[in-house]
Structure 1
Amino acid sequence: MSPSKSGNDYARSLSLLWGSQTVPGRSGLTVQKIVAAGMDMADENGIEQLSMRKVAERLEVGAMSLYTYVPGKSELLELMLDKSQANLYACDDIRAECGGDWREAMRFIAKTNWTLFGKHPWITELSGRRPVFGPHIVLKYEMELSALDGIGLSDIEMDSTLSLLLMHVESCARLQTSMNRTQKTSGIDDNEWWLEYSTAMENMADWSRFPVSSRVGNAAGELHQSAYSPEHAYQFGLERIIAGTAALIGRSEPR
């Protein structure tokens, strides 16, 4: 959202998010169809290439027709973001679905969000925007929080733990998206790049000056066949977050 929006603008945005999106107008369009077209285009080319004009061309209507349904690109992105998070969980009770184990529930939440970012990489491009409180996003928050409810965390700790988990997954997914884009544009995969680059580097420096970097870097490079692995970082960090949460729950001092 733009910081210059007024209360009426926010009310209109929320009305779009929470209102019916399936009622057709005179042209036969619906908000739902516009959002679906926008998501398809963003999945294909990212949000930088997305515009109201291009969405209109995709739907074979005049650009002005869209504005009677969605005021602009900012609102369209909000609708797309909310829609992308619909029906992520088949079961209302995530922890019950995971056998009542909050640790498995956290792993399941992380995996679900990792898959979401893989399906819609453009979501990571919206980082830094103010939150969107659409119905699907609010329901997702409710379900994910509920998986942490009653395990020994305060309300603030529940929110902070979930935020830490989701930010970790998003950060790793953003790096994975960037690496995928680089591989696509360069035509060279990371394994091939690492082999060529590391071979060239061997003759460019006196590695005896960097004994720890050389030892650790070689070990990591051998494991990942690249400079780093976003998926490995995601898995490693996830387990550290779960361990930290367990320690927080098991603390002896009062909250």
Structure 2
Amino acid sequence: MNQEYSGGGDPAKSLELLWGLQSKPTRGPKPALTVPRIVETALRVADAEGLAAMSIRRVADELGVGAMTLYRYVPGKNELIDVMLDTVYGELPLREVEGDWRARLDEVARENRKLYLAHPWLLQVATSRPPLGPNLMAKYEWELRAVEGIGLTDVEMDAAVALVNGYVHGAVRSAVEAATVIQRTGITDKQWWEAHEPLLDKIGDTKRFPLASRVGTTVGIEFDAPYDSEHGFEFGLARVLDGIATLLDGR
């Protein structure tokens, strides 16, 4: 995947776009475009073809205008990506879940997973410098409420949220990569497994690799594939939450 970075543009211009602080002309004809329309078009391209296909020129072509026209509204691709991220974060329902902290963090994980699966290009954007827009702030506030008042320090609250989100990011990446290889090869995991199965008896050395042979065969039979992303996600999320529970129980 080609890697992009949030926060790579002009901070002042990104914040103006994120919070709608750009000065609006008081005279002259009504602008032909708006930032939300530009972002909507950019999202449509990125969702369908990946972030590599999204450029100022491509978005301009989709809108039927010249690239220079877009620069009147968006300074560049970096700032556009920041607004795209914040716009997508706005899709999170931010529901308040009844139950304990575990139920709330479980909801955080699942909703973030849905967002990644709906917009796989999110995996291509490193967010160590997050776009500080209203939707990101609302997302962070909602995630922190999941662990408020359960016995963690402020730093630990932030770390717990980061731990869950980091786990989801890695788990979804595996799921997206598995789906992509099926799309590009035209072969399902089951077909891939069936094609290899007759050869395994010839190359398999159960004496040399007893555990790999036994466990790998069991997994293959269970899932008709060398890996199942749904099972992996459920297993891993439970263990992440178990770890936080152990920390709390120790207090």
TM-score, shorter chain, exceeding 0.5: yes
- Distance (whole Å) between structure 1 residues aligned to residue 59 and residue 205 of structure 2: 55
- Distance (whole Å) between structure 1 residues aligned to residue 126 and residue 220 of structure 2: 29
* Change over 3 Å in CA distance of 1:107–1:221 after alignment to 2: same
Runs of 4+, deviation exceeding 3 Å: 1-5, 23-27
Please give the secondary structure, in 2, of the residue aligned with 1:207: coil
- Distance (whole Å) between structure 2 residues aligned to residue 197 and residue 58 of structure 1: 44
| Counterpart for residue 117 of structure 1 | 116
Please give the secondary structure, in 2, of the residue aligned with 1:208: coil
| Counterpart for residue 188 of structure 2 | 189
Please give the secondary structure, in 2, of the residue aligned with 1:194: helix
| Counterpart for residue 198 of structure 1 | 197
* Structure 1 residue 223: Cα displacement: 1.9
Q: Which amino acid aligns with 2:231?
A: H
Q: Which amino acid aligns with 2:69?
A: S
| Counterpart for residue 29 of structure 1 | 33
* Structure 1 residue 203: Cα displacement: 1.4
* Change over 3 Å in CA distance of 1:60–1:99 after alignment to 2: same
- Distance (whole Å) between structure 1 residues aligned to residue 8 and residue 79 of structure 2: 14
- Distance (whole Å) between structure 2 residues aligned to residue 86 and residue 2 of structure 1: 16
8 Å Cα contact 1:172/1:231 also seen in 2: no
Specify which of 69, 75, 79 is matched with residue 73 of structure 2: 69
| Counterpart for residue 13 of structure 2 | 12
Q: Which amino acid aligns with 2:182?
A: Q
Q: Which amino acid aligns with 1:174?
A: R
Q: Which amino acid aligns with 1:221?
A: G
8 Å Cα contact 1:194/1:226 also seen in 2: yes
- Distance (whole Å) between structure 1 residues aligned to residue 90 and residue 127 of structure 2: 21
* Change over 3 Å in CA distance of 1:3–1:34 after alignment to 2: closer
Normalising by structure 1, report the TM-score: 0.88
Normalising by structure 2, report the TM-score: 0.90
Asked whether 1:80 is paired with 2:91, we answer: no
State the percentage of identical aligned residues: 40
* Change over 3 Å in CA distance of 1:90–1:153 after alignment to 2: closer
* Structure 1 residue 130: Cα displacement: 2.9
* Structure 1 residue 178: Cα displacement: 1.3
- Distance (whole Å) between structure 1 residues aligned to residue 238 and residue 7 of structure 2: 38
- Distance (whole Å) between structure 2 residues aligned to residue 123 and residue 3 of structure 1: 14
8 Å Cα contact 2:123/2:169 also seen in 1: yes
Deviations, residues 83-119 of structure 1 (Å, cap 9, x unaligned):
001041253xx2xxx2232111111111101110110
> Structure 2 regions of 5+ residues with no counterpart?
none
Please give the secondary structure, in 1, of the residue aligned with 2:207: helix
Aligned residues: 243
> Structure 1 regions of 5+ residues with no counterpart?
none
Deviations, residues 18-51 of structure 1 (Å, cap 9, x unaligned):
1258x79854200000000000110100001111
* Change over 3 Å in CA distance of 1:2–1:100 after alignment to 2: closer
Asked whether 1:238 is paired with 2:229, we answer: no
Asked whether 1:132 is paired with 2:136, we answer: no
* Change over 3 Å in CA distance of 1:2–1:157 after alignment to 2: closer
Please give the secondary structure, in 1, of the residue aligned with 2:203: coil
8 Å Cα contact 2:45/2:54 also seen in 1: yes
Q: Which amino acid aligns with 1:142?
A: E
Comparing 229-238 and 164-173, the one that deviates more? 229-238
Deviations, residues 228-255 of structure 1 (Å, cap 9, x unaligned):
1222221111101111111111114xxx
* Structure 1 residue 14: Cα displacement: 1.2
Root mean square deviation of aligned Cα = 2.1
- Distance (whole Å) between structure 2 residues aligned to residue 136 and residue 223 of structure 1: 41
